[in-house]
Amino acid sequence: MCDIGKLSYYTMQKRILTIEDSKSLQKKNKKYEKKAKNFITCMLGMYDLDSLMKLEWSRYVDFVADLFELKIEKTKLGGIEFNAQKDQEPVLIWDYNKYKEVIIDENFIENIHQNISEKYDGRIFIVAPANSFDFIEDYVEIDNIRYYFLKIPYQVIRELHKTPFRKILQPKNKNDINNIETAVGFHFMRPPTVKNKKIKENGKTKIILEEFKSYYYKDENGKILENFETLSTIFIDENYDGETFKLDKTIFADELEIKDNKITIELEVKNTKVMLIYVDIYGNEFKEIFEV
C-alpha cells in the first residue's frame, strides 16, 4: 500500500494493526479474529543513503551543520565532547562509523545525563542516522533537560543529487485531503518547533499548545508565516501501548481555536500514556509521548 498523505498513512497503519477486530470477508456477522502479521512502514523517494554514509567525517560534519543550521564549535560538559551548537546549546554529532554497534537508546541518554545533569540545564541535540535511534519520539526529558533527536532519514536531498523538488503540502482541513500535489522528490525531515504544557482540569487532561513553527518559516513569496500558520494536523493515540502508534483522533488545523495565542486540546485518556504527532503543511512531524 502506498499514499502520500499523512492521514492515509496512519489510517492504514491502524487498520493493519487492528485487523483482528474487523469483519470477516467470509462471514459478515463474525470478526476476522486473526492477529496482524509483521509488516514494515517505509518512507520512500529517490535516495542515496550510501553516498551520505561514505562521506569523509569532516565533510559529513559540514553537511550536517548545513542541514540543521548548526555552528561548528566544540564544547565539553562533564567530560563529554560536543561537536557543535544549535541556538547556543550543545549538539552531539554521532560518529556512526566509529561506533557501529552502538544504538542511541535509554541507557545511552542516561549515561550522558549522569555526567552533565549537575553542570547543565537546557536542551541537548543529538544528530545521527535514523536507524541509530531506538526512539519513536523526537525527544526525551530527564529532570530539567530535554534531549532532542535530529534524525537523518533515507531521502533524496538537493545537496547530494543536485535535483530540484517541490514541497508536498499537507491539508489543513478535511476538504483538502485529496488535493495533495504530486511530488518530484522528498526533502530531509526538519521537525517543527513545538512548545506546550500538560494540565489537568476538572478531571480532564489538556494540552496547551503555545508555539508551533516550521523550519520553513516563509512562504514562496517571502512572507513570514506566523505562529500556528504552518500547522496541518494533529494525530493522537490516547491509549498508547508504548510500542505502536494507533490513530484514535485526527484534528485538522482549521478545527482548532486560537485564543490568546494558544491552542487548547482536550484528551479522552484511556491509559497512562498518550502519543501525539504534530504535522506541518510540508509533512514534517514532531512526535511526543507523555504519561498522564
Instruction: Provide the β-strand partners of residue 48.
Output: none
Chain centroid to CA 246: 15
Q: In what order do the strands lie in the sheet with 273-280?
A: 249-252, 231-237, 273-280, 285-291
DSSP β-ladder status, 145-152 and 123-129: parallel
Short-list 126, 125, 118, CA closest to 144: 118
Chain centroid to CA 155: 15
Q: What is the pLDDT of residue 49?
A: 52
Q: Is the pTM of this model over 0.75?
A: no
Residues of the chain with pLDDT under 70: 43-54, 153-168, 179-189, 220
Burial call 222-260: b when 16+ CB within 10 Å, e when fewer:
eeebebbbbbbbbbbbbebeeeebbbbebbbbeebeeee
How many C-beta neighbours within 10 Å does residue 82 have?
A: 20
For the chain, strand residue ranges (E) read: 71-77, 80-86, 89-93, 123-129, 139-142, 145-152, 193-201, 204-213, 231-237, 249-252, 258-259, 262-267, 273-280, 285-291
Instruction: Return the sign of the alpha-carbon dihedral for residues 180, 181, 184, 190.
Output: negative
Domain residue extents for the chain: 48-154
* pLDDT tens-digit map of 225-249: 899 999 999 999 999 998 889 999 9
